[in-house]
Amino acid sequence: MFKKILVANRGEIAVRVIRACQELGVKTVAVYSEADASAPHVREADEAVLVGPPPSSQSYLVGERLIEVAKRVGAEAIHPGYGFLSERAWFARAVREAGLVFIGPPAEAIEAMGSKTAARQLAIAAGVPVVPGNTQGVKDADEAIAIAEEYGFPVLLKAAAGGGGKGMRIVRAREELAGALESARREAKNAFGDDAVYLEKYIEGPRHVEIQVLADGHGNVVHLGERECSVQRRHQKMIEEAPSVAVSPELRARMGATAVAAAKAAGYVNAGTCEFLLDRDGRYYFLEMNTRIQVEHPVTELVMGIDLVQWQIRVASGERLPFAQKDFTPRGWAMECRITSEDPAHGFLPSTGRVEYLHLPSGPGVRWDGGIEAGSEVGLHYDPMLAKLIVHAPTRALAISRMRRALHELTIDGIETSRGFHLRVMDDAEFQSGDISIQWLEQRLHTLTAPIVHRETLRLAAIAAALVAHEERTAGRSAGTSAGGGGANESGAGNTGALARAGGPTWAAVARREALRSS
Ligand code: MV4
């Protein structure tokens, strides 16, 4: 096992990797930008090194500097987390050439999966089902029209170098194809420096289901079942769960075997994820492979009872996987809500400021993977995802109740977050039924983010306001203008207690808890 690992990331995933290292008895070195000097990942690590100014292009993305730091402090390996340098083949190669271990797949596997057309060719050669379409960039509009007519409209134009939806265009009719091809090319060129675009049949209303794989350097590859990731907005996932209501044990075994075949074909080692579209008839199509640990890995950890980040480190140090495929059957249900500094009431606009107060949920089946604390400054330099709230329960319905309970326990003051949005999803009947697709959230967004002011809520708010006003008048009469903090607290507690007794329903309990917490 390694003695010391450099964690080339920030936020919750840096903390997650540090925790895994602590449990393995491995020392950790954090790196940080000037904006992160007092961040939790810096404090939790055994050592920390400043690597540059706030913009990630001058800090977390400067691979050569991170490698230099690793060598200087005597780290033997680098864990890249997700995002940043995690899927840059050149970085994985540079780490290896510096005599260090990259805790992730070989550079060659990153490259093989990095080009979507190359990944499709590799998948087809391995007998992995892909969406009907071509595997080379299209030459021009005439060729694109010929291919589209072979498969039938609608078709989807995709950037060969792409991923994450950039350079994608749905084309529903022949007349639209030339224009769409032009704009897809422009977008692809801008985003990836490569204007190659290919074409697939467009699958309507599928689910996004992905399979976790884990491979060691001795040829052993297992899959750890699926994650359901359909609740997403603009290619940003919001809620993930494991297992998926749409995946039977039989389908899990088939999709799992497919993911293992794709991983083997790519010479894959370490943790990785194969993304699939699952259509309404239960047919599945390989989309791409994510060659990193993913944000949503905890839901798999909870249902499979395995620490994926520890196993990333173990296989990178040369250990063999001790598991057989039959060791992995999902137990219960896990669900994750991404807690972001975005304002759902205003189109998910990024929110910035200081976390003035933070109360974390706990209790049975609740896990918080976070990178913030009270006092943290949330700016615009990095991703708005602050933390993940993950629950585990025996059934999906109980996981939803548990998530609702945990979201109620969570208080984040000072910035807007996605908390309230998640509460509304948990209360949504369609979400509860599990009948969702990748289009579900965007179709439903309006109702999920519209202000809700029921007549009854208004009436209760008016009663509460009257009671508070009365309390203040009474307090003003009995206490002097220099009344101490203790007195004010007592009267506050008594007041909300009275409200809770008077009101009865949940609004009063919620108001009481929130008021007591932030006072
Ligand atoms: C598709 C598709 C429908 N048909 N391909 C989105 C990003 C990239 N990973 C591939 N994506 C899609 N490819 C065909 N032939 C729909 C999507 C898609 C999507 C996929 C997974 C999760 C969310 C999505 C949101 C919009 C579109």
**What are the pLDDT digits (tens) for 325-334?**
999 999 999 9
Q: Ligand 1 mean position to 472 CA, how many Å? A: 56
Give the largest CA-CA distance in the chain. Answer: 85
* pLDDT over threshold 60, residue 519: no
Give nearest CA residue, ligand 1 atom 22: 208
Identity (one letter) of the amino acid at 450?
A
Rg (CA), the chain: 25
Residue 386 phi, psi dihedral angles, 5° rounding:
-95, -35
State pTM to two decimals.
0.89
Is the peptide bond prior to 364 cis by the omega test (within 30 degrees of 0)? no
**Residue 154 Cα, ligand 1 centroid: separation in angstroms?**
13
Beta carbons of 441 and 424 less than 8 angstroms apart: no
Spatial distance between the Cα atoms of 130 and 151, rounded to a whole number of angstroms: 14
226 HSE (CA, 13 A, CB side): 28
**Number of H-type helices and E-type strands within the chain:** 18, 22
pLDDT at position 507: 61
Mean pLDDT, rounded, of the chain = 92
292 is catalytic: yes
Return the HEC string of 89-133.
HHHHHHHHHCCCEECCCCHHHHHHHHCHHHHHHHHHHCCCCECCE
CA of residue 295 to ligand 1 center, whole Å: 18
Residue 89 CB contacts under 8 Å (≥ 6 apart), including other chains? 107, 108, 110, 111, 114
CA of residue 54 relative to chain centroid, distance = 22
Q: How many Å lie between the centroid of ligand 1 and the Cα of residue 92? A: 27
Task: Report the separation in Å between the CA atom of 168 and the middle of ligand 1, taken as the mean of its atom positions.
Answer: 9
Cβ(332)–Cβ(355) under 8 Å?
no
pLDDT of 218-234, one tens digit each?
A: 999 999 999 999 999 99
Q: What is the pLDDT of residue 511?
A: 66
Q: What per-residue confidence (pLDDT) applies to 467?
A: 86
What is the CA angle 13-62-25, rounded to 5? 40
Give the pLDDT score at 486: 32
- Atom 17 in ligand 1: residue holding the nearest Cα: 165
Ligand 1 atom index nearest CA of 200: 15
Q: What digits encode the pLDDT tens for the residues 296-349?
A: 999 999 999 999 999 999 999 999 999 999 999 999 999 999 999 999 999 999
Indicate whether 18 pLDDT > 80: yes
Closest residue by Cα to atom 20, ligand 1, is 208
Is residue 425 scored above 80 in pLDDT? yes
Ligand 1 atom 3: the closest Cα is on which residue? 203
Which one of 203, 209, 226 would you pick to mutate in the ligand 1 pocket, going by the greatest count of ligand atoms within 8 A of its CB?
Answer: 203
For residue 399, give the H/E element and its range.
helix 396-409
Q: Which residue has the CA at smallest separation from atom 15 of ligand 1? A: 202
Q: Is the confidence at residue 484, as pLDDT, over 60?
A: no
Q: Is the peptide bond before 243 cis (omega within 30 degrees of 0)?
A: yes
Expressed in angstroms, the distance from the first to the final Cα of the chain is 48
Among 292, 338, 367, 402, the active-site one is 292
Instruction: List ligand 1's pocket residues with C-beta within 6 A.
Output: 131, 156, 163-165, 200-203, 208, 232, 235, 275, 277, 287-288, 438
492, pLDDT greater than 50: no
Q: Does 452 have pLDDT greater than 90? A: no
